[in-house]
Amino acid sequence: MLTVKDLHVSYGAIKALHGVSLEVPQGSIVTLIGANGAGKSTTLRALSGLVKPASGKILYEGRDIARSAPHRIVAQGLCHVPEGRMVFANLTVHENLLMGAYLQRDRKWIATQTEYVFSLFPRLKERENQSAGTLSGGEQQMLAIGRALLGRPKFLMLDEPSLGIAPLLVKTIFERIVEINREQGLTILLVEQNANLALEVSSYAYVLESGSILLEGRSSELKANPEVRAAYLGA
């Protein structure tokens, strides 16, 4: 569904990505792990059009979207849940969800999908008319994922969904990520510093180091790899 070929990204004179190549098959959960500053978030920002590559290809459903505008990428079903949630703090939970549906015109689908989000995250239903800025970090992460689901995605990118969240809510969120993949058939590219969690829920993984792919393979194999265990799994 997504093929990235030899992707280079620079911020001025600083080279952030050095020839990154990866594939995400339709219906899968693929994870990208690595230390802070490895280029994980930059990769997602390039895929969603927020930064323009210096060179390389991003083939989404066979079309090169490397230089497409972000709103056109979203319209093709590729939605990005950014690091840090980025909810609209002064809007209610319900209004935030509707912001995710700004390209949708089917009111019945929007209502049905909103109820689906509330079934995934009952806490959001309880806080439907509460300002998003008053939610906990975990609740805001639920809201950010729910907002993306209102964009009618086919491909969902999640950037550090466990960051700054209480362990109990992290467990809930990752269970829901697997549920979304299974129930809605969404293809998911997961960027996550908690490598143990990421390798547990994904089928295939890439290890990014200093802007380059260092290792790749089935998640179960990388989880057993001594180098990966020593560097990323605390073993």
Give the predicted TM-score (pTM) of the model: 0.89
Domains in the chain: boundaries: 2-232
Per-10-residue mean pLDDT, the chain, length 235: 95 92 96 89 94 94 93 92 86 94 89 93 94 91 93 93 84 90 93 89 93 92 86 66
Q: What pLDDT score does 6 carry?
A: 95
Which tokens belong to 177?
């990520």
Q: What pLDDT score does 168 carry?
A: 83
Q: What pLDDT score does 225 carry?
A: 86
Are 164 and 156 in contact, with CB atoms under 8 Å apart?
no
Q: What pLDDT score does 234 carry?
A: 61
CA-based nearest residue to 46, from 73, 24, 27? 73
Q: Could you tell me the fold of the domain covering 2-232?
A: Rossmann fold (3.40.50)
User: CA angle 78-195-66, nearest 5°?
Assistant: 25
What pLDDT digit, counting tens, does each position of 31-82 carry?
999 888 889 999 999 999 999 999 999 999 999 999 999 999 999 999 999 8
CB neighbourhood size of 78 (10 A):
27
Are 141 and 134 in contact, with CB atoms under 8 Å apart?
no
